[in-house]
Structure 1
């Protein structure tokens, strides 16, 4: 089995939203690169990154 750690980004910070509600955000880190590096150091081969700013935007900037 492969476990994919996830990093949710909002406003350039690593966050989690309670039940997907942007009004209930917990910030875990101001440094997404350091967070990703920690997952790699812990053995992760893949990381699932989610851009919540893009997910909640009304237009597509990609």
Structure 2
């Protein structure tokens, strides 16, 4: 089994939604590249990147 971390992005920022509700987004980091580099530094080889702006359209 493989566990792959995800970065959800809205307006270029890393966010988390509550139960998929876009009105409840919480911003965790302003820079997704910085977050991806932290995962890489931790030895993560794969990353699931989700563009929630595109998913909502």
Name the residue aligned to 1:41: 41
Q: Normalising by structure 1, report the TM-score.
A: 0.89
Aligned-pair CA distance for 1:39: 0.6
Q: Normalising by structure 2, report the TM-score.
A: 0.96
Matched residue pairs, number? 57
CA deviations 1:20-59 (Å, max 9, x no partner) are 00010000000000000001111110000000000001xx
Structure 1's unaligned 5+ residue stretches are: 58-62
Structure 2's unaligned 5+ residue stretches are: none
Q: Where do 4+ consecutive residues of structure 1 move more than 4 Å? A: none
Structure number, greater radius of gyration: 1
